[in-house]
Structure formats: C-alpha cells, structure tokens
C-alpha cells in the first residue's frame, strides 16, 4: 500500500474509535481547529469509555469505594484514565472525586499519604506525582496544588530522578517514580503558577536522568533495565515504558537528543505492515472493563506512537 494511503487508512481507523481517541487524532495528527477538537472532546463525558467510567462513581464521589485501592478501580486510577481520555477539566464529577483525594490525602509534609490509618508517617512520591497531575488538571485553583508541587520539587535526587524508596536508603532514581513526577510537574507547569519555572527546571534535570539511561538501559552496563520497559501498555497504571516516556517528551516539545534515537527506532520498528501497533502488555488487576485486547491492534498505542514519530520527524524540531 502507498505510504500516504496507508496513513489515511490508519487515521480513518483511529477516527472510528472512542471519542477519547477521536479528539486526540483530530488535534495531534490532523491539526483540526480548536472548535472541532473541543466539540469532539466534550463527547468523552457523554459516550464511550469516559461516560462508562463516570457512571461508576458512587454517591460519596468515589470510584471503587476507595481513594487509591482497589487497583485499578479506585478513585485515583479512574481519574488518571479520565485525564488520559481528555475529559474536560471542568467536569463536576471528576472535580468532586479529585477534591476527595486532596481532602483525605494531603499530609503534613506536603505530599500525599493515604495510609495514616496504618501509621505511615511519610508521603508517597509516586502517588503524589499522580495526584498532582490530577489536581493541576481538574482543580487548578486549589491552593493545595501548590503544596503538592513544592513537595515534589523537594524530592528530586542528585541524579535528577525520583524514587519513592529514598526513606529506605535508595540513592538512584526509579524510572517508574520519575515518569509520574514528570507528568505531575508538567501538568502543574502548564498552569503558569508560582513554581512553574522551578517545575520546568526540575523536569529538565529529570529528563536528563532518563536520557543518561537512553530511556531503558543501565548507565553502568548498557543492559536493558527491565524487558517490560520496552513493551507498550495502555493504560500504564504506575508503570514506566519507553512509549510513555516518549509521549511525555513530545508533549512538552523537549529538544531532540541523539540518546533518544534507539527508543525512537524501537517504536518505529514495532509498526506492523498494516500501519498499526499492537497492545503488547496489560497489567493484571480488576478493571471496570477492558479498553483493548492484548496482542491485538491498539488505537491507544497507534495514536501515541504516531504523534511521537510526528514530533521526532518534524522539520525544524529543536535539538
């Protein structure tokens, strides 16, 4: 099939998907106008995956009856999915759920700690990153957003990464923690709030941590840190993989760096002859419903891979 015809076929297939896929395809791959994109984006709350998740919220404002557990049906993980879907930020149900995360999670050290009943006396950096990404998106005017951002900035390690096990003596950043902190700080940075400049600088240092590792290799031995990092999952939950990392890099329009080349090459090589990417991985646990089937073509992975490659191949991209 001719390359242009293949692209048109794949984009057409994406546009046959859920509203969450359609509006991002219109915006990120077709450069449609803001009005057209916003019209389709509003449908996330009205039909498909987004509407199905909103319908599962209980009268108390929670999903799954809990703040962080059970995985993957709790309020935190449901709101992370809804944010990924692009649910409009003013949605009243999501704002109510997010407010519960802050009301019951913000701890005296400025981070998120849902486990005080178990006598846990410190916030959890990974979860704080998650909740910051949600609060900056759904509750940008809440003063606690600033508190969470300040806490995360203070968790950055000397190598630029972050690790939720520092209290146990960890001295090296974690890929999983670092990507969640990056996503939280990026969402906060977009607000243009008081600490936006510091958040931008912290992200630059954290991106360097990932670049030193070429996104998935040991900086000491060059070996792949963990094979799962090279398999593309959606939703990623709390897990890191190179497509998730590259999607963050393209979202913030980070400069091109030759240390990304190998990971970019892996994304390109995973494309099938029909122009699509498979769902390569799924993390076990209870869900309300499955978005896609492992081993089958994935609209989520195809959408994300295409916009990563589009960013990378764009003429005049920063270096």
Q: Answer yes or no: do 121 and 169 share one domain.
A: yes
Residue 7 structural domain: 1-46
Note whether 19 and 98 are same-domain residues. Answer: no
Is 41 in the same domain as 66? no
Task: Classify residue 319: in a domain, yes or no.
Answer: no
- In a shared domain, residues 82 and 181: yes
Local confidence pLDDT in tens for the 319 residues of the chain: 666 788 899 999 999 999 999 999 999 999 999 999 999 999 999 999 999 999 999 999 999 999 999 999 999 999 999 999 999 999 999 999 999 999 999 999 999 999 999 999 999 999 999 999 999 999 999 999 999 999 999 999 999 999 999 988 999 999 999 999 999 999 999 999 999 999 999 999 999 999 999 999 999 999 999 999 999 999 999 999 999 999 999 999 999 999 999 999 999 999 999 999 999 999 999 999 999 999 999 999 999 999 999 999 987 655 5
The reported pLDDT for the residue numbered 288 is 98
Q: What is the pLDDT of residue 317?
A: 56
What is the token pair recorded at 20?
A: 């969450």
Q: What is the pLDDT of residue 167?
A: 87
* Domain count along the chain: 2
Alpha-carbon distance 297 to 51, whole Å? Answer: 23
In a domain, 78, yes or no: yes
Tell me, yes or no, whether 124 and 183 share the same domain. yes
pLDDT computed for residue 173 by the predictor: 97
Residue 318 lies in a domain: no
13 and 91 co-located in one domain = no
Per-residue confidence (pLDDT) for residue 243, from 0 to 100 = 98
């Amino acid at each position: 099939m001719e390359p242009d015809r293949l692209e048109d076929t794949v984009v057409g297939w994406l546009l046959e998907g859920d509203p969450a896929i359609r509006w991002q395809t219109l915006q990120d791959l077709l450069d449609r106008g803001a009005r057209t994109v916003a019209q389709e984006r509003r449908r996330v709350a009205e039909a498909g995956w987004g509407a199905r998740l909103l319908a599962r919220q209980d009268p108390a404002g929670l999903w799954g009856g809990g703040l962080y557990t059970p995985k993957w049906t709790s309020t935190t993980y449901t709101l992370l999915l809804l944010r990924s879907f692009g649910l409009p930020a003013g949605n009243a149900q999501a704002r109510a759920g997010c407010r519960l995360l802050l009301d019951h999670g913000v701890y005296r050290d400025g981070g998120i700690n849902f486990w005080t009943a178990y006598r846990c006396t410190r916030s959890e950096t990974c979860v704080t990153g998650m909740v910051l990404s949600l609060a900056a998106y759904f509750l940008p005017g809440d003063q606690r957003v600033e508190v969470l951002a300040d806490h995360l900035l203070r968790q950055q390690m000397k190598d630029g990464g972050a690790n939720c096990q520092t209290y146990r003596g960890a001295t090296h950043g974690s890929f999983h923690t670092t990507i969640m902190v990056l996503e939280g700080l990026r969402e906060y940075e977009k607000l243009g709030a008081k600490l936006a400049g510091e958040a931008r600088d912290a992200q630059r240092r954290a991106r360097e941590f990932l670049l030193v590792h070429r996104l998935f290799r040991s900086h000491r031995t060059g070996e792949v840190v963990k094979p799962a990092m090279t398999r593309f999952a959606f939703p990623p939950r709390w897990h890191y993989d190179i497509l998730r990392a590259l999607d963050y890099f393209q979202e913030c329009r980070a400069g091109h760096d030759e240390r990304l080349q190998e990971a970019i090459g892996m994304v390109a090589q995973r494309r099938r002859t029909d122009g699509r990417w498979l769902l390569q991985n799924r993390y076990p646990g209870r869900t309300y419903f499955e978005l896609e089937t492992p081993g089958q073509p994935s609209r989520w992975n195809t959408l994300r891979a295409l916009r990563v490659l589009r960013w990378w191949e764009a003429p005049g991209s920063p270096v």
